[in-house]
Structure 1
Amino acid sequence: MAVTSTETGAEKRILEAIRTHTASENPSSFLALNSGNSMFTVPGADGVVVYRRTGRWAVQFGGPFAAEDDYDTLLDAFRSHVRDEGLGLVGVQLQRGDAEHYARRGFTVNQIGASWAVSLAEFTLRGTRFMQLRNKISRAHRNGLTIQEVDAGDVRDAVATIDKAWLGAKGGAHELEFLVGQIGGAAQAHRRLFVGAIDGAPVAYISYSPVHGSRAGWMHDLSRRIPEGSPGLMEAINAHAIEVFRAEGVAWLHFGFTPFTGLDSGYELDGHSSAFQWLTRALWAEGAALYPAQTQLSYKQKWAPDVVIPEYVAFDGPAASLPGFAHVFRACNAF
């Protein structure tokens, strides 16, 4: 058994696993390549487990990215390893297939939110339902917005300036990690970055990450703007990117995972925690201080998603663990 964090070739092995083993259909799988993640492998098993250790917890990202015949081998070995280390185990952003594997092994599994996707084949912004969206986009362009796809290395300082202003407007909020994308690092060559500028000064950007599987395409990932900038900046950049993707024949644009959204009792598995189910609904209604789920969902719904994909959290044990749940947010640097 091998456990590695930043060994030479780790990124290459993770990238190969998420490209090859798409059975779980995790649209956020590219986040496995974020810097700061650790990788767990088993000799002879085809696949990887990606996680972060926070305090006395291992927070696993998604299920094992593994060949079907090796999926349970990796899951069981990782679970044993975590227990041998005296840690608790919580897995987040599990897809439905992952959730069923975990539930069969005695994990307590609950829906924690959803991700959203738009089919691009017939996508158009025409029609009355997109009128407000078109108006915001037009306003940004009237205010002088120009948009380009750029190399991240060429706009490093501009991105840093936007990030600083964006975080400053949030009262010095922490830079989120783990379940959100990043710019830079070994994986940057696989991402795409679109930047909007007014009068030559960059004012907003959206980074897109590749998505593999039956709904292959791109995921609208990290996005930030100058707080005092023109209305419609993000909408205009995303609309521009959509036209680029459509011209390339890209089939799907994903909008990523948002906790506490898309909750539906019909998505829950047998053995789920009723108390945790209540908590997620309470956090949707009143939990903006923890995560702005309603604001995030409002932006995604502007694009009329075609697919809602439920995502799950799994706790190793017969009950949902509040400390385990808290450590998911700690792994994200939310507090």
Structure 2
Amino acid sequence: MTAPRLLSPFVRTRTRLGVTIGLVMAAALTAASLPLIPDDEKPIAAQDEPVAAIPAGIGPKDEATALQEARRTGKDVLVDRATTAFSQLFARPDGQLRDVTSALPQRAKDENGQWAPIDNTLSLDPTATDGLGVIPANPPEKVRFSGGDKGNGEKGKGAGAEAGATVLAEAEAKGHTITYTWPGTLPEPVLDGSRALYPEVSPGVDLLLVARQEGGLGLLLIIKNREAAATVKALTYGLRADGAIFRHNAETGGLSVLDAATQAEIANIPTSMAWDSAGKDPESPEKPQLSTATSADVLKLSGLSG
């Protein structure tokens, strides 16, 4: 399906506008409702059972092994097998357990299957054959962004793109792949941390993709001048997902992504927003930053965090 994003209500008097379409994973939203448990919170009582002797340092520690090591060393010990993206469980020397939970994912499995800190720093894989060569180092959920056409003909369009369109991004959500397509070709992006900027996708308009801390992606359009604001009336993005359906909320304008079999929500795409993104010039903080002459200038504008 396609999801039209009408820009005309947002382009009356502003010199530069950002339209954001954020793909937020349902898992991250659910996890955000969990309490952040401080280190000094009341500990959890461990099972009052005898702990068999287990040699230290063999495999991931379960609760019993961690409790034994904590008593032996007098230090808190991580219960490896209880680790999740959002929480860690520690065994204490006094036989209690301490749980530390965060609202946002703090770690993800790396390419070796080991827990490692979230790292959304983007890099370009020149060997990608499907055009989606921009990837984060260790994201909470798998996302891939377009590496741009780069003059390589069909390579930059991405597998399965509609005629005249380019696969812009893919994001994983609970075993489903959600795909965005862009109506045309894309330039090679300028990478800046977790952000990929595609300059001049339309005259006076830049496109920004952001790998989000909570998983998924943010999509922003930066309309850089009045001429572009007057010209751009509507843009249509393609959306598709394997084994999932999209449900439009007529009241909010957002989209829910539902598992086709269970009807459970696996992701959501909130309503588009617009704002004046003129920022402060770091060399002249009393003056707003208005220049969009280069990609570096655009990336300094406020609010472009996805």
Q: TM-score, normalized by length of structure 1?
A: 0.23
Give the strand-richer structure, 1 or 2: 2
Higher relative contact order (CA 8 A, sep 6+): 1
Larger radius of gyration: 2
Q: TM-score, normalized by length of structure 2?
A: 0.25
Give the helix-richer structure, 1 or 2: 1
